[in-house]
């Protein structure tokens, strides 16, 4: 077995690495880092690197602020956009207390704990993500770099070279990209990251978001993962594809499914869990005031906790590209937005699916019509559960959720409730330009 720590030390010497960036995220999924020099690498591996955890959103209180970042040697990668001489590399970190216990608010650890639960039930979890984002001319206003649409080419698409550089950089960093293209809105892009184990998939999303921003900056542009920056166009999702594998292969697939869906009882229960608990985990998958601007009619985002096969109006979709290929059977969660914390998003959605298996939930028949075209009366008759339409309602459902408190722990659960209520109240008190334009002269 290769000693990954010794491999890192050797790579540092051979590649002339002069700075090591230790990466981790705050509770909201924002990337943070500590830079050390090679002289501190042994200390980092053996003891961890100390930092003030109270300065990181949701990580620690002032009286428990001493934290240690322990680099995961298996995530070592050089940063291709930095110079080859006096180079720079990064490693993701596990966050621990001085006593050596995992930090309760370490997002990466929360996901790892959920993957341990899946393993205890006999499953490994594979994840692929489709990450959408916008490219604007600057960070000061949402001025699109082009007026292209879905799958467009030049001259309508002005970001082809940017996507090319982004994909090549990700490949150099060990992140496998399945494909990339222009999305439906002006200046909107999509990069699809290939399936891998769930922890590596979350690391890949964090890496991809950083690489996207670096590449855009190098091209004189600003890349934004804001969920809904353009009022009259669809916002940015992060479609999350998940599947469970056991000793016999894909646990979601059953060629002899009596209902003809190609799904095993495990797959059906998993989807039912995703749907049942969707309102409770929405605060994690859609964590900002702006996130809920996607959830309006005509913007392409799912509005109800529904599922379907090859039905892009449903919240959970079972893609049917290769219906006879068992290994490709998966669920696609379409409600998540591109600004979500990928570690917590995977933790809560996997938890919901596993809970569905534990509870033996029944999966209702799939939606076969265009849900976007249904009237309120038709939706009510179908019994579809609405997803939260604003941050306040998402907070209410999340706060009451025993499952979310169990998965995230009291510290993270309580912090998210407090922080997001404060965000909502600040937004609620803000007088917008829409209100001024609509009411000032009239009233």
CA-based nearest residue to 315, from 289, 290, 285, 340:
285
Within 10 angstroms of residue 51's Cβ, the number of other Cβ atoms is: 21
The answer to whether the bond into 155 is cis (omega within 30° of 0) is yes
User: Minimum mean pLDDT among 46-55, 311-320, 323-332, 370-379: which range?
Assistant: 323-332
Mean pLDDT of the chain: 93
CA 267 – CA 439 distance, rounded (Å): 51
CA 17 – CA 79 distance, rounded (Å): 10
DSSP string, 348-369: HHHHHHHHHHHHTPPPPPPP-S
CA distances from 168 to 11, 248, 310 (A): 21, 35, 31
Is pLDDT at 176 greater than 50 in this prediction? yes
CA distances from 197 to 225, 244, 251, 271, 403 (A): 24, 10, 15, 19, 23
User: How does pLDDT run across 47-94, given as a tens digit for each residue?
Assistant: 999 999 998 988 888 778 899 999 999 999 999 999 888 999 999 999
Contact 91, 163 (CB under 8 A): no
pTM of the model: 0.95
Q: How many CA atoms lie within 13 A of 280 on its CB side?
A: 22
Kindly give the pairing relationship between strand 17-25 and strand 87-96: parallel
User: How does pLDDT run across 377-393, given as a tens digit for each residue?
Assistant: 999 999 999 999 999 99
CA-based nearest residue to 91, from 20, 171, 30, 162:
20
Kindly give the pairing relationship between strand 87-96 and strand 66-71: antiparallel
- If you ran DSSP here, which 8-state letter would residue 255 be given? T
Token reading at 158: 């002005």
């Amino acid at each position: 077995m290769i000693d990954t720590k010794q491999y890192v030390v050797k790579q540092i010497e051979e590649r002339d690495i002069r700075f090591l960036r230790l990466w981790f995220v705050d509770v909201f999924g924002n990337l943070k880092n500590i830079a050390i020099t090679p002289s501190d690498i042994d200390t980092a591996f053996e003891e961890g690197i100390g930092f003030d955890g109270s300065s990181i959103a949701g990580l620690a209180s002032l009286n428990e602020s001493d934290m240690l970042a322990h680099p995961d040697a298996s995530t070592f990668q050089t940063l291709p956009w930095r110079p080859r001489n006096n180079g720079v590399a990064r490693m993701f970190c596990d966050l621990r207390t001085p006593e050596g216990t995992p930090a309760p608010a370490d997002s990466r650890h929360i996901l790892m704990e959920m993957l341990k639960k899946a393993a205890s039930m006999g499953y490994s979890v594979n994840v692929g993500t489709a990450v959408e984002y916008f490219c604007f001319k600057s960070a000061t206003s949402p001025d699109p770099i082009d007026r292209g649409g879905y799958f467009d080419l030049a001259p309508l698409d002005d970001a082809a070279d940017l996507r090319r550089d982004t994909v090549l950089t990700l490949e150099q960093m060990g992140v496998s990209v399945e494909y990339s293209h222009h999305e439906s809105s002006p200046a909107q892009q999509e990069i699809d990251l290939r399936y891998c184990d769930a922890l590596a998939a979350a690391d890949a999303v964090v890496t991809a978001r950083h690489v996207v921003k670096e590449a855009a900056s190098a091209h004189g542009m600003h890349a934004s993962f804001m969920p809904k920056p353009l009022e009259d166009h669809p916002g940015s999702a992060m479609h999350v594809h998940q599947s469970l594998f056991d000793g016999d292969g894909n646990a979601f697939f059953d060629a002899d499914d009596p209902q003809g869906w190609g799904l095993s009882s495990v797959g059906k229960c998993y989807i039912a869990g995703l749907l049942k608990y969707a309102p409770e985990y929405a605060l994690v998958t859609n964590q900002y005031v702006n996130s809920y601007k996607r959830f309006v009619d005509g913007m392409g985002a799912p509005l109800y906790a529904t599922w379907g096969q090859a039905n892009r109006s449903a919240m959970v979709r079972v893609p049917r590209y290769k219906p006879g290929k068992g290994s490709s059977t998966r669920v696609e969660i379409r409600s998540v937005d591109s600004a979500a914390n990928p570690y917590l998003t995977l933790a809560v959605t996997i938890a919901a699916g596993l809970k569905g298996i534990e509870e033996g939930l029944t999966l209702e028949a799939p939606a076969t019509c265009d849900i976007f075209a249904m009237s309120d009366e038709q939706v009510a008759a179908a019994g579809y559960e609405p997803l939260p339409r604003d941050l306040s309602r998402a907070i209410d459902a999340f706060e009451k959720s025993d499952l979310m408190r169990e998965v995230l722990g009291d510290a993270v659960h309580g912090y998210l409730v407090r922080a997001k209520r404060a965000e909502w109240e600040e937004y609620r008190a803000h007088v917008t330009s829409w209100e001024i334009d609509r009411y000032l002269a009239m009233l």
